[in-house]
Amino acid sequence: MHLMRLAHNIHGLGLHVVLMAALVASVLAQEVTTPVIDLTVPPPREQQLSAVPGASIGGIGGQPLPRGYLLPLKIDLTSIYRRPTKLGDKFTVEVRLRNTSASAFFLPTSQNGVAVFQHDGKGRRTFMFSLVFEDPRNGRQTTSIAAVAMGVETVKDSLLRIDPSKEVRVLFNADLAPVADWLERDASEIQIRVSASETTFEDRRYFVKSESQPIVSGNAESIRFK
């Protein structure tokens, strides 16, 4: 009887190990197939725009600029690489965007502003990734743009299709310059969240058509300073 019970336990343990291995393999396979947008490498100077032409002008016929549409996305802060320990330290932020709608979403991925904005084009848009800094002691908060991606239907590979329930990983660089005065005074801990928003442009003019409401991560990373 004891041997039978032992054999049964070993069989159960073996089945548990197999199931865990299958689960890990599934997670790793999903990680490998998740697209990655790397915005950590600055584009060549000839591809950069000092500013988007007409970006500060919007509206049609004197009507107010349409603002505040909802993005069908959920954003999460995945990690901060080389956690900063002092002012001047640069770090890389990884976020995940998941399409929560029933339709495909086309995410801007290009840093070539000249290609996207130098000619008329359908569906021109920018997608901005920002960091939301907060001092947990007093609740003061500030938001700073860290990276911008651009896209238009007429420029190949400048828009990435994200199907419903699918995810994409995005990498970009940042620093603590937006909270330099906090650190120089008395801040000993800072919480960081990620935020994203989209701006769309008219097809034949360099005017802003509409802007989305920002989406903000529910999770945050805490950075402590000595």
Total domains in the fold of the chain = 2
Does residue 25 sit in the same domain as residue 44? no
Residuewise pLDDT in 10s, the chain (226 residues): 555 555 555 555 555 555 554 454 444 444 568 999 999 998 888 888 776 544 444 444 455 555 689 999 999 999 999 889 888 899 999 999 999 999 999 999 999 998 998 888 889 999 999 999 999 999 999 999 999 999 999 999 999 999 999 999 999 999 999 999 999 888 889 999 999 999 999 887 778 889 999 999 999 999 998 7
Does residue 10 sit in the same domain as residue 48? no
Does residue 27 sit in the same domain as residue 48? no
Does residue 154 sit in the same domain as residue 209? yes
Does residue 130 sit in the same domain as residue 40? yes
Report the alpha-carbon distance of residue 99 to residue 137 in Å, rounded.
34
Does residue 72 sit in the same domain as residue 47? yes
**pLDDT at position 146, please?**
96
Does residue 44 sit in the same domain as residue 123? yes
Q: What is the CA radius of gyration of the chain?
A: 23
SS (H, E, C) the chain: CHHHHHHHHHHHHHHHHHHHHHHHHHHHHHHHHCCEEECCCCCCHHHCCCCCCCCCCECCCCCCCCEEECCCEEEEEEEEECCCCCCCCEEEEEEEEEECCCCCEEEECECCHHHHHCCCCCCCEEEEEEEEEECCCCCCEEEEEEEEEEECCCCCCCEEEECCCCEEEEEEEEECHHHHHHHHHCCCEEEEEEEEEEEEECCCCCCEEEEECCEECCCCEEEECC
Does residue 194 sit in the same domain as residue 132? yes
**pLDDT at position 60, please?**
47
Cα distance between the two ends of the chain: 61
Question: For residue 21, what are the domain limits?
Answer: 1-33
Does residue 1 sit in the same domain as residue 62? no
Report the alpha-carbon distance of residue 18 to residue 13 in Å, rounded.
9
Does residue 114 sit in the same domain as residue 201? yes
Phi, psi of 13 (to 5 degrees): -65, -40
**pLDDT at position 176, please?**
95
Phi, psi of 27 (to 5 degrees): -65, -45
Q: Nearest-CA neighbor of 116 among 49, 186, 207, 179?
A: 49
Does residue 3 sit in the same domain as residue 106? no
